[in-house]
């Protein structure tokens, strides 16, 4: 038996959601059944505002590694999804509108690429909701503005660095005093 593909009618978003809810309920029941309660946990006493009660009394390399690796994986996935959401349509729009006309492709190829982009946008916003369709224009404008600001900051920093670190020309009076 082959596993269902992502285009299968049996694998719908609703079924995936309820499957996740059912799996969470089963895991919660197993934790409850195993008797892993909060009362069994040794918690350190409160030590002020920057303290949290679930700190391990004696952390080891493995406990830190397991906690931090999960945190890092979570951050990479979250920032990756944000990067994807903010840059994909902006990048593709810039390519579709400007760059693909200079590469010598036939009109038919350019039309297929543009139609594929439009279909991807329509499909994405049909899934996410058309209330966010202003992102198509807003995100590239914000990205261009940020690139301009960053360019000006880099240019300003380089100008200041050049002004501060100008090579000094040797003063002839200093050379005479050194040689004498």
The whole-chain average pLDDT of the chain stands at 76
**113-169 pLDDT, tens digit each:** 778 878 887 887 788 777 777 777 777 777 778 888 889 999 998 888 888 877 666
- Residue appearing with tokens 């009076």: 173
Alpha helix stretches (DSSP H) within 98-134? 107-128
Q: What percentage of the chain exceeds 70 in pLDDT?
A: 69
pLDDT confidence of 26, banded at 50, 70, 90? very high
Whole-model pTM?
0.31
Per this entry, what is the length of the chain? 180
Q: Which of 7-11, 70-74, 83-87 has the highest mean pLDDT?
A: 70-74
Q: Is the pLDDT of residue 73 over 70?
A: yes
Q: Is the pLDDT of residue 99 over 70?
A: no
How far is the CA of 108 from the CAs of 5, 94, 104, 115, 121, in angstroms?
31, 19, 11, 10, 20
């Amino acid at each position: 038996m082959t596993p269902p593909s992502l285009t299968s009618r049996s694998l719908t978003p609703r079924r995936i959601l309820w499957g996740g809810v059912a799996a969470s309920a089963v895991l919660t029941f197993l934790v409850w059944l195993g008797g892993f309660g909060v009362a069994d946990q040794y918690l350190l006493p409160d030590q002020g505002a920057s303290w949290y009660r679930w700190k391990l009394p004696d952390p080891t390399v493995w406990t830190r590694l397991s906690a931090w690796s999960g945190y890092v994986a979570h951050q990479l996935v979250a920032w990756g999804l944000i990067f994807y959401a903010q840059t994909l349509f902006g990048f593709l729009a810039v390519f579709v509108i400007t760059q693909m006309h200079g590469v010598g492709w036939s009109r038919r190829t350019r039309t297929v690429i543009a139609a594929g982009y439009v279909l991807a946008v329509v499909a994405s916003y049909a899934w996410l909701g058309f209330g966010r369709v202003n992102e198509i224009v807003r995100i590239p404008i914000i990205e261009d503005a940020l690139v301009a600001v960053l360019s000006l900051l880099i240019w300003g920093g380089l100008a200041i660095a050049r002004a501060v670190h100008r090579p000094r020309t040797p003063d002839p009076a200093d050379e005479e005093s050194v040689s004498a």
